[in-house]
Chain A
Amino acid sequence: MNTEQFLTRLNRRSFLNNVSLGVGSLALTSMLGPHGLAKPAKRLSFGVINPLHFAPRAKRVIHLCMAGGPSHLETLDYKPKLAEMDGKPMPRSITDGQPIAQLQGKKELKCLGPQHEFKEFGQSGQSISSALPHIGGIADEICIIRSMITQQINHDPAHTFMNTGALVAGRPSMGSWITYGLGSEGSDLPGFVVLTSVGGAQDQPIASRQWHSGFLPSRYQGVHFHSTGDPVLYISNPKGVDAKGQGAVIDAVNSINRLRNKTVADPEIDTRISQYEMAFRMQASVPELIDTSSEPQHVFDLYGAKPGDGSFASNCLLARRLAERGTRFIQLYHRGWDHHGGVKNGVLTTAKHVDKASAALIRDLKDRGMLDDTLVIWGGEFGRTPMAQGSGRDHHMKGFSFWLAGGGIRGGISHGNTDDLGYHSVEDVVTVHDFHATMLHLLGVDHEKFTFKFQGLDFRLSGVEEAHVLSNLIA
């Protein structure tokens, strides 16, 4: 174990010792409240960055990951010139020597004009596709980046790069980095939660490596909440065992573990005891989180969600509930944006799954005064080609769009541009590492100082090459 890992463990133990001082000596069965719910424990977790490098603008992040690669040309980046060029050959000067995915080997590449009208929304007059009217409705809250680039042209590696800043699989995801650095605000729920939904195109496979902690300690791994079966794996008691019975078993385990520790004095046993307490609390707190029956009807109407339907809208509502309960990094994947064919109707269909709920999340957070310290990110792993692939568009990594809101972001502005045909990002180009650096900055973290030693190297989320904080996006 190297020194960093050692320090991490030290830190973890000190946190957990605190926990066990607080509630560890109480029998779990006595922790059950009137409704059988465990009493919430105090926030006691701290990350390794203590104190933060500078005052944070955001306390938490909600990443609305539009998996599959939404077409920037039908959503956030209007190109009149591309409309003029519709059906005409794509200039070879732009495409020669460029990496191409499924269009490779095609003799002639033709332009496909934007398939949807764009409108000016809000006081800021932001140009947004008519396919996203609700997002248009929050135009003054969001900052649109139209000059993203990435380094990978296929889904799996592009997600890996977006999440970990590395092309090699096995590095920690951004959610893991952030919970490792900042810890979690809640003690009854995980600090990094992932939710997924489908609809609108072929479901993109998403590997669990996208929320893996890589070389960081496993406790920073994202916890995947499921919309069917147990919301968290193994959260339900075995058949025939009620909360009291489960509590009795855990009490016995912890009592004997304590006895054992008197002889062997092993800090791992202290940790184990508090993890059983945490697990028991999660068995109550997770169902409480998932059960949205206490939400009023107008909230469901706002999101367009039906309780328990596993939709993106329901997940947005859960994201807000998680944010309220102190979860640090919440990642929602909507796996329906891979429109190789029929991009016109495809974008429209997928937009119906995500548009209203994305906007509702921003409005709801704002109403609750939480938007100021919640950074919301909306975007995919890459964009799509200005060239037609039949009636659709192929994967594209040289220019695509994101929007950000809340957490210190200036609303109602845009940043960067692609060229006239929407191919290359040409103005204020934003790399994935710039995006990571900016996100960390908003959280109060200097991305250059936030490192972890692994195999002899100081790894960081923002990579080895220079990355820039996009300071003009920050209010």
Chain B
Amino acid sequence: MPFDRQTCLVFAAALVFSAWPSGLVAGENPAKVDFARDIRPLLSDKCFACHGPDAKQRKADLRLDTREGAVADLDGYSAVVPGKPSESELVARITADDEDDRMPPPDSGKHLDDRQKELLRQWIAQGAEYDLHWAYKPVTRPEPPSVNNGSFVRNDIDRFVLATLRSKGHEPAGEGDRRTLIRRLSFDLTGLPPTWEQVQAFATDRSPRAVEKLVDRLLASPHYGERMAVFWLDLVRYADTMGYHSDNVQTKPLYREYVINAFNDNLAFDQFTREQLAGDLMPGATRRQRIASGYNRLNMTTREGGSQPKEYIAIYLGDRVRNVSGVWMATTLGCTECHDHKFDPFTSRDFYSLGAYFADLEETPVGPQKYKPLPTAAQQAEVDELKKQLPTLEAVLNTQTPALDAALAKWEAAQVMWTVLEPSAAAAANGTGLAIRDDRSILASGELPDVDTYTVTLKGAPAGTRAFRIEALPDDSLPKKGPGRAGNGNFVITEVIVKAGDQIVPLQNATASFEQTLANQNNPYKKWSAASAIDGDAKGASFGWAVLPKVGAAQRLVFEAAGEFNVEGELTFILKQTHGTQHTLGRFKIFATAHAGTVSADSAAPPKKIGDILAIPLAKRSDGQKKTLATHHRAFAPELAATRKELAGLKERVKRLEKAFPTSLISVRLAKPRTVRILPRGNWQDDSGPEVQPTVPARLNLANLEGRASRSDLADWVVSKENPLTARVMVNRLWALCFGRGLATPLDDFGAQGTPPTHPGLLDWLAADFMDHGWDIKRTMKLLVTSGAYRQSSTTDAETMAADPLNMWLARQGRWRLDAEMVRDNALAVSGLLAKSIGGASVKPYQPAGYWKHLNFPKRKWSHDSGTSQYRRGLYTFWCRTFLHPSMLAFDAPTREGCTAERTRSNIPQQALVLLNDPTYVEAARVFAELILRNGGDTDAKRLAWAFERALSRGASAAERDILLRLARERTEHFAANAGAAKAAATAGEWPVTTALKPEHVAAWTAVSRAILNLYETTSRF
């Protein structure tokens, strides 16, 4: 029967407000007002803002959040006189006609209706008993009610559900059909659709354990961990960028992989919690535990210039308190950053004390965060193995042997001993100022002619001198530090002439430490060579020795005398520098040697320390000097070259391997934790607040710890079985994954302003069961999805729908549009494109060009991945906090700036645009069309049936078939007449095209595929 939905919904809304929460209408004990269910939410919403826990805001010295406060004597009267409503000022005030007396004050915007006033009156009449807020009461394990319904009740969950359902006058919906059930289970447990083969197998499985077998298979699937990770990553705000301002990359895929594996390995939830909060502090912390401790580093961070470190330290503290209290306690501690909580028993002291647990974390307040290497065991073993070989090689290099002694002697004999010549005069032909310095170098300054010739007379050449060295030296006074005076620090010595008295000394065999090859086009030597400085300018006067680009450092030119000459008197060096453009020498020294063998620029003088030793005759050297000399020699001894090379290669490999280690942000403990103070009104500049130590909220403090408490202590407290919140919060969220809403709502507020659970007994039973069985998530998931309540159909009659539109009493299953990631994964799975590997780096699917243009410092571009990386599951999408992928955003994926316990499920036109036009979905449709044409049979009817089964796990109805066949026919005609359009439509995306198919067929069936992939049913879970 068709029904008017609008009327139903409005009617339903009225029901929601009038019939619940109320103990007066239905329930176990209709006459008794329940404080936790009926009164506390009322007082909290209407009164606590002025008469609650926040002492600063308290009016008239009256607090109604404790019984002591409510019954206190207020100068001859009391707000509440237990058992006597007529004597209670509260009743007088809420019913006052005079606006000045009435509570809540009319201008507060708060209002009590008659039913609420009556509830308060009855509560006082019944003794005004206060009771602890439900969420802070210890978890008990209530006995499941006994109920009669053999077919519905699959496990104890159903006893609670059915008892409550009947008390509301409803009966459960029938069990969903097999095809709906396998789709529901597959999406809920793995986030992926079943294959048609799996659907058929399940539909025909007559075993009484069919559902259980299917659930076991799905829970064992590696995709289970991926599905669960999505929900966890939302809570802990996992993202790949920093979040503030420039929003630079700050990816942590190892943490994501940890979460996936933890769910797949069914890591106990208490251990999962401990590892994330304090994995780094665990004795002998493993790699996994250190990665897990990256949880503490998932907050947004900044690099913005001008940000105050102190402010951001305060911001990060607040961020962590909000997150840890949101994730594990469903508590809105964020309010207490500035003031005591208005509704729940938490104070600013609680906020900062909780924050103090995290004051030991090493982090950069403003700037890039430091990543830590996290090698796998195999990677570490490989490096360790290589490192083991190092000492052996080093020992060889450090051991002096007789053979090396011999080599050293030979080397010593070959050493060239240079003597610095002492300049007595230096002059320049064209006006360059030349000064002789104390170190016997000559420095040019002053006038800077284009060309010049320096003439220097020197003395002190050793007897038997037969080779010279001109050392061109850098100096701070020179351009680019010299050695030349040209703007680029270069020089060109075009010719060197050496004279002993009047006699010109013939020169030969010139070499240099470096010879310039830049600008060699016209140079007959093809380089600015040493040889051209002693060639008598045979090949031109403008060519000579130059050193660009190796300026700013010492360079040397070495040449030999070709014959005997007299060294008794002074030597004259004429340095011609006729290249031009001021390419003259800035500073230099001249050396001579009497070495008997060949002398070249490679015959560098040993360092001074070694030279000094060499100057001492062998017999007079001390053991220390001998050792120094041997060590010096071994560093280049050709005899050890192979070993040296091997060692260098080994070190290089180690370096390369270590550089390739995966890294992540993890928790690293500071030796001295930061001081944490209560910031008055959250003001980070105000240091007047008292210093606090790490402590859990006073209201929930369960143990007195000695000394400074650590994050491990916090973790222990969070997962203590005495903690009333953690298990309740977690099972409530697991419930929501399977039923679409929590037993208590919202999922992120278990405080007084949240809604008490619809099934308090069931929530407690589940929480107790969870803890009693070692915080076993898969066990709880299996209980939930094998229950009769879960197996129900999500469709019901109009009457039940109208009576309970939010499905609080579970007379049916929930139904909803798939999450953003699943919408994508489903399209890829149906088309066969989905890449199924687990874990790894974040990936970049197609994204409209220019979407990132608002990012700056630096500017960046999104380059989409190719190959299988393009077709990975949605949870691996690169999560840019300031510009989340627009398809994900359209389907309500959160930006993960803070904790998200519950995604909104919107239904907006952008979703239609994404499914219709995003290249990801167009490509999936094209590839699906090819599959259909290749495998679907030889008629359109067969093809359509095949496609429908693959995408929707069922056959098409006659009406559906007609619509889509008409589309196929009409589009085939269109594309047959429009070859260009057909080709464009038939080649969408990067995935290789099946060339055997006709473009007009692929294009037409792409239209059909697009229609199928856009159906509400395709993107939904029923």
Contact = CB atoms under 8 A, between A and B. Distances in A.
Interface of A: 1-3, 6-7, 10, 12-14, 17, 97, 99, 101-102, 104, 153-157, 168-170, 196, 202-209, 212, 217-219, 223, 226, 228-230, 232-242, 244-246, 248-250, 252-253, 255-257, 259-260, 263-272, 275-276, 278-280, 282-283, 335, 394-395, 448-449, 451, 453, 455-458
Contacts of A2: 745-746, 755
A279 B245 contact: no
B971 A248 contact: yes
Contact of B243 (A97, A169, A212, A255): A169
Contacts of A168: 318, 322, 334, 898
Interface stretch (B28-36, B533-541, B848-856): B848-856
Contact of A232 (B754, B795, B911, B913): B913
A235 B685 contact: no
Nearest to A244: B974
Given A2-B746, A170-B898, A207 B247 contact: yes
B594 interface: no
Given A248-B1007, A457-B335, A260 B912 contact: no
Interface residues of B, number: 115
Interface in B873-916: 881-884, 886-887, 889-890, 892, 895, 897-898, 904, 906-914, 916
B9 A267 contact: yes
B259 interface: no
B499 interface: no
Closest 10 CB pairs of A and B: A456-B753, A101-B306, A240-B985, A240-B984, A207-B882, A279-B912, A218-B906, A102-B306, A234-B913, A156-B245
Given A204-B856, A228-B849, A249-B916, 8 more contacts: A101-B308, A154-B307, A207-B883, A208-B882, A248-B970, A263-B795, A282-B909, A449-B109
Interface of B: 3, 5-6, 9-10, 13, 16-17, 109, 243-247, 300, 302, 304-308, 311, 318, 322, 332, 334-335, 342-343, 685, 741, 745-746, 748-749, 751-755, 794-795, 798, 801, 806, 815-817, 848-851, 853-857, 859, 881-884, 886-887, 889-890, 892, 895, 897-898, 904, 906-914, 916-919, 922, 957, 959-960, 963-964, 966-967, 970-971, 974-975, 980-986, 988, 1003, 1007-1008, 1010-1011, 1014-1017, 1020, 1022
A474 B678 CA distance: 42
Contacts of A264: 794-795, 815, 1022
Contacts of A242: 981
Contact of A252 (B892, B975, B1011): B1011
Contacts of A266: 815, 1016
Nearest to A102: B306
A226 B898 contact: no
Contacts of B816: 268
B306 A275 contact: no
Q: Which of B304, B741, B974 has most A Cβ within 10 Å?
A: B304
Contact of B851 (A233, A236, A458): A233
Contacts of B853: 228
Given A253-B1011, A275-B909, A154 B985 contact: no
Contact of A217 (B16, B906, B918, B1003): B906
A71 B1007 CA distance: 55
B413 to A, nearest CB: 61
Contacts of A233: 848, 851, 886, 910, 913
Contacts of A260: 1015-1017
Contacts of A206: 854
Given A2-B755, A266-B815, A240 B983 contact: yes
Contact of A7 (B13, B300, B904, B957): B13
B957 to A, nearest CB: 7
Given A3-B16, A153-B306, A238-B985, A275 B912 contact: yes
Contacts of A448: 109
Nearest to A204: B856
Contacts of B913: 232-235, 279, 282-283
19 contacts: A1-B741, A1-B806, A101-B305, A102-B305, A169-B243, A205-B857, A206-B854, A208-B854, A234-B917, A234-B918, A238-B988, A240-B980, A248-B970, A255-B963, A256-B964, A264-B815, A265-B801, A270-B5, A455-B749
A10 B9 contact: yes
Nearest to B798: A265
A154 B304 contact: yes
Contact of B909 (A196, A229, A268, A278): A278
Contacts of A99: 308, 311, 685
A381 to B, nearest CB: 12
B6 A14 contact: yes
Given A207-B247, A257-B1016, A278-B909, A156 B304 contact: yes
A448 B106 CA distance: 13
A457 B916 contact: no
B967 to A, nearest CB: 5
Contacts of A1: 741, 745-746, 806
A203 B302 contact: no
A275 B907 contact: yes
Given A209-B895, A272-B907, A449-B109, A229 B16 contact: no
A241 B921 CA distance: 14
A203 B853 CA distance: 10
A261 B165 CA distance: 26
B332 A457 contact: yes
Nearest to A261: B1016
A239 B897 contact: no
A13 B906 contact: no
B245 A240 contact: no
Contacts of A218: 890, 892, 904, 906, 908
B1015 A394 contact: no
B935 to A, nearest CB: 22
Nearest to A10: B9
A59 to B, nearest CB: 23
Nearest to B751: A456
Given A1-B806, A154-B304, A234-B848, A268 B985 contact: no
A156 B302 contact: yes
Given A205-B857, A240-B986, A242-B981, A249 B907 contact: no
A454 to B, nearest CB: 8
A232 B913 CA distance: 10
Contacts of A196: 854
B332 A455 contact: yes
Given A168-B898, A218-B908, A259-B959, A205 B9 contact: no
Contacts of A279: 909-910, 912-913, 916
A168 B300 CA distance: 11
Contact of A205 (B10, B247, B741, B1020): B247
Nearest to B337: A168
Nearest to B1004: A245
Contacts of B917: 234-238
Contacts of A280: 912
B752 A456 contact: yes
Contact of B910 (A234, A248, A335, A457): A234
Contacts of A457: 332, 335, 342, 753
A126 to B, nearest CB: 32
A2 B1008 CA distance: 39
A233 B794 CA distance: 34
Nearest to B752: A456
A405 B16 CA distance: 45
A155 B109 contact: no
A137 to B, nearest CB: 31
Nearest to A205: B856
Q: Which of B247, B850, B882, B984 has most A Cβ within 10 Å?
A: B882
Given A233-B886, A275-B907, A13 B308 contact: no
Contact of A230 (B311, B848, B1016): B848
A455 B753 contact: yes
Given A157-B244, A238-B917, A6 B806 contact: yes
